[in-house]
Structure 1
Amino acid sequence: MPKQLTTDYQTLAARFRPIFTRIAEGAVERELDRQLAVEPIRWLKEAGFGTLRIPVEEGGFGATLPQLFQLLTELAEADSNLPQALRAHFAFVEDRLNQPDSEERKRWFRRFTDGELVGSGWTEIGNLKLGEVVTKVSPSENGWTLNGHKFYSTGTLYADWIDVYAQRGDNGRDVIALVNTHQTGVQREDDWDGFGQRLTGSGTTRFEQAKVEAPHVYDFSERFRYQTAFYQHVLLSTLAGIGRAITRDVAQGVANRKRIYSHSNANLVKQDVQVLQVVGQISSWAYAVDATVQQATQALQQAYELHDSGDEAAIQQANVKAEVDSAKAQVIATDLVTRAATELFNALGASDTRTSKALDRHWRNARTVSSHNPVIYKSRNVGDWEVNGNEPTFIWQIGNGE
């Protein structure tokens, strides 16, 4: 098993915190101008952020999963778009970590230590039946050829590779195809028009006779088993980071606010006990989300540590716990962070609703992140597990009903 926990968290985080500070300084401007975070992504690449989970002996940092998600929370506090933009990259790295050691795996690790990143290409929209996959990858003379298009291609505008969910044209099996973005057969569009998380690079990606190397297509059934919980944890870390950012911004806003109301409780807003109560409530909600997310990562780490143990019963139990814990955390984070993003304005004033301050981005971003993987089904899964012992939904699809 690859070495883990090669350094303590504070030492690891100290390497990246100056970059997080630079990222935070430009977050509002990027939001207002809808300016993609190309430079911040470059800073992270140059610092080796994409290699956090790669073993030290392979050129990475050997971070544990709890360490990874704590760092993603800190990054989300600076700019919540960036952890989600890197979601597919860290998931693919995790998938490689779960595969046996091989020259192909080492080759991927070398790409990542060179700064290359992976984006996502899974979701299709339009008049599709439930579970239908239109994107096809077919054998060709020198490997494979990919045709189709994807939406919600998160992170792809920043990526060198795209992790594409497709079907084989020869046998109809569901597969993953890794496609290099630096070719004419791949067209990426910045057309994501959601009201939040606007800078995640989640637009349309089109594949027209795109070339795929022979080793870069493999059965979807081979993907790492705790992937659903892993993907969810990136969103959970993003929500936890938004909670921290809300606490930061409301505390600074109250501390610096000069204008008071005639019927307030003090001559300074920062001494008004009712306002302080609001800030304390927001901080407590953010703390609860942070603690919940960090606790849930322990189950994910356990699933990783057991993945190659050969003990199928223990592996399955660990995967169930990782999924249930991530679902519980999603229920908590979705509620508390969106509430905090609204309550923030009760501690401030009408002037703080100005577009130039972009404080509304916290609610918009939190609500957008929370809309992934519907939380109502997560709480249902938790209840069904607690009452009936039925395992949660690990893999699902979306499309038109009958």
Structure 2
Amino acid sequence: MPAHVIADDAEAVAVAAALAEEFRAGAAERDAERRLPRAELDRLSASGLLAVTVPADHGGADVSARTLAEVFRLLGTADGSLAQIPQSHFAYVNVIRRQGTPEQQKFFFAELLAGRRLGNAQSEAGTRHVQDIRTRLSPRPDGSYVLDGVKHYSTGALFADWIPVLARAEDDALHVAYVPRDAPGLTVADDWDGMGQRTTASGTVRLDGVRVPADRVLPHHLTFRGPQLHGAVAQLLHAAIDTGIAAGALAEAAEFVRTKSRPWFESEAATAAQDPLLIQHFGELDLRVRASAALLREAAGTVDTARARLTDDTAAEASIAVAAAKVQAARTAVDVAGALFEVAGTRSALNSLNLHRHWRDARTHTLHDPTRWKVQHIGRYVLGGTRPPRHGLL
């Protein structure tokens, strides 16, 4: 059955809201049983949401960054694992948009509109740092390439139709090779054992002499030679996921207090929801969630402004705005998800309820890249006007 093609921004948000409600119902059970969300991802593909950034001249909705961030925030309120899976998908759609030839764009945009999913194979373990990529893309006499390497934290690869592989060519320049999931020599191990985001299947991809045609390789290193929004968009989606996790945790805490908690005897309140100290606490938590959502919208709007007129200055402003949103969202997600137990009381800690999945998801996801460096870049920008560096994590 072909995927639906979403027409515009309003439809994208409406579809995301409906899917979030659908996915929320089974999120706790999927996490507890580590049941991988294959059926849910098929629903996501069929809905057309995975193609909403396809350019209009290729038949897509080409939604704004603000809309895309809201899509991820909504999905994050329902399931912190499920929301994470398509994050790399959209990052590598952006690589196609920026670096793909007309022929490559025509092919891959048609794949996306048909509901195909992109995974990722970028991070490596045991290297000096996250940018130390050792997977090699070796040329063959016929113009094609061979891929060799091992990738970790490959979120979405297990469910993907295409796996974008970050690799270095002979000159050490970074490229992305788009490899079919069933390519000979490519294996995906479902060995992710993180305490949170348990159903992302962020396992290991092994590449052993994988043949890649020349027309499936894109020069990603060119992305960072001029003003770019690759990192800002990728980080915006991470911020949206954290903002969603916080909102989802707060909503579940409020429902628990309304329906299951007992009032503390000293409050003399008839119900826990009428305890003035709990009311105060919920008010404070909601302020933090609202602040995260507001910074997310502001950052997304700044990305949209920069996309309309991309210069070094507009790109820098977008990266800084997204960094601020990411720092706020990460702190809020961890704190609000942890505060759930304080406001909901002893029973909320029962393992059978699995309310701790919100904190586990937040704590795990916010380790993706350190917010301390984002604060550094914000400070340098404010004090000296220093533009942030051009890389995919800012």
- How high is the TM-score relative to the length of structure 1? 0.90
Question: Residue 31 of structure 1 aligns with which residue?
Answer: 31
Question: Residue 400 of structure 1 aligns with which residue?
Answer: none
Residue 192 of structure 1 aligns to a residue whose secondary structure is coil
Q: CA deviation at 1:142?
A: 6.4
Residue 209 of structure 2 aligns to a residue whose secondary structure is strand
Deviations along 1:35-93, one digit per CA (max 9) or x if unpaired, are: 11111111000111111111344232221111111011001111111232111111122
CA distance in 2, matches of 1:284, 1:202: 33
Q: Tell which deviates more after alignment, 332-341 or 93-102.
A: 93-102
**Structure 2 counterpart of 1:144, which letter?**
Y
CA distance in 1, matches of 2:392, 2:37: 31
Question: Residue 284 of structure 2 aligns with which residue?
Answer: 281
Unmatched segments (≥5 aa) in structure 1: 308-314, 398-402
Unmatched segments (≥5 aa) in structure 2: 1-5
Q: What is the RMSD of the two structures over their aligned residues, measured on CA atoms?
A: 2.1
C-alpha distance 249-317 of structure 1, shift in aligned 2 (>3 A)? same
Describe how 1:122-271 pairs up with structure 2 within 5 A.
Answer: 122-126=122-126, 128=128, 131-140=131-140, 141=142, 143-168=144-169, 170-223=170-223, 225-257=228-260, 259-271=262-274
Deviations along 1:316-364, one digit per CA (max 9) or x if unpaired, are: 1111011111111122112222211122222211111011221111122
CA distance in 2, matches of 1:161, 1:285: 38
Is 1:356 the equivalent of 2:352?
Answer: yes
State the number of aligned residues.
384
Question: Residue 3 of structure 2 aligns with which residue?
Answer: none
CA distance in 2, matches of 1:344, 1:279: 10
C-alpha distance 258-303 of structure 1, shift in aligned 2 (>3 A)? closer
CA distance in 2, matches of 1:32, 1:100: 41
CA distance in 1, matches of 2:389, 2:365: 19
Q: CA deviation at 1:374?
A: 0.7
Q: Is the 8 A contact 1:48 1:60 kept in 2?
A: no
**Structure 1 counterpart of 2:359, which letter?**
W
- How high is the TM-score relative to the length of structure 2? 0.91
**Structure 2 counterpart of 1:288, which letter?**
A
Q: Is the 8 A contact 1:265 1:274 kept in 2?
A: no
**Structure 2 counterpart of 1:157, which letter?**
L
Deviations along 1:139-172, one digit per CA (max 9) or x if unpaired, are: 234621111111111221121112211112x433
Question: Residue 336 of structure 1 aligns with which residue?
Answer: 332
Is 1:387 the equivalent of 2:388?
Answer: no
CA distance in 2, matches of 1:132, 1:278: 44
**Structure 1 counterpart of 2:255, which letter?**
Q
C-alpha distance 154-100 of structure 1, shift in aligned 2 (>3 A)? closer
Question: Residue 67 of structure 2 aligns with which residue?
Answer: 67
Q: CA deviation at 1:100?
A: 7.2
Residue 363 of structure 1 aligns to a residue whose secondary structure is helix
Q: Is the 8 A contact 1:86 1:155 kept in 2?
A: yes
C-alpha distance 23-131 of structure 1, shift in aligned 2 (>3 A)? closer
Question: Residue 373 of structure 2 aligns with which residue?
Answer: 377
Deviations along 1:4-48, one digit per CA (max 9) or x if unpaired, are: x96453x43223433221211110001100111111111000111
**Structure 2 counterpart of 1:383, which letter?**
G
Deviations along 1:279-318, one digit per CA (max 9) or x if unpaired, are: 22222211111111111011111222224xxxxxxx1111
Q: CA deviation at 1:94?
A: 2.0
Q: Is the 8 A contact 1:156 1:202 kept in 2?
A: yes
**Structure 2 counterpart of 1:204, which letter?**
T
CA distance in 2, matches of 1:216, 1:162: 11
C-alpha distance 15-337 of structure 1, shift in aligned 2 (>3 A)? closer
CA distance in 2, matches of 1:80, 1:373: 17
Percent identical among aligned pairs is 28
CA distance in 2, matches of 1:118, 1:130: 21
Is 1:118 the equivalent of 2:151?
Answer: no
Q: CA deviation at 1:249?
A: 0.3
Q: Is the 8 A contact 2:32 2:354 kept in 1?
A: yes
CA distance in 2, matches of 1:99, 1:133: 20
Q: CA deviation at 1:186?
A: 0.9
C-alpha distance 216-172 of structure 1, shift in aligned 2 (>3 A)? same
Q: Is the 8 A contact 1:55 1:61 kept in 2?
A: yes
CA distance in 1, matches of 2:196, 2:379: 30
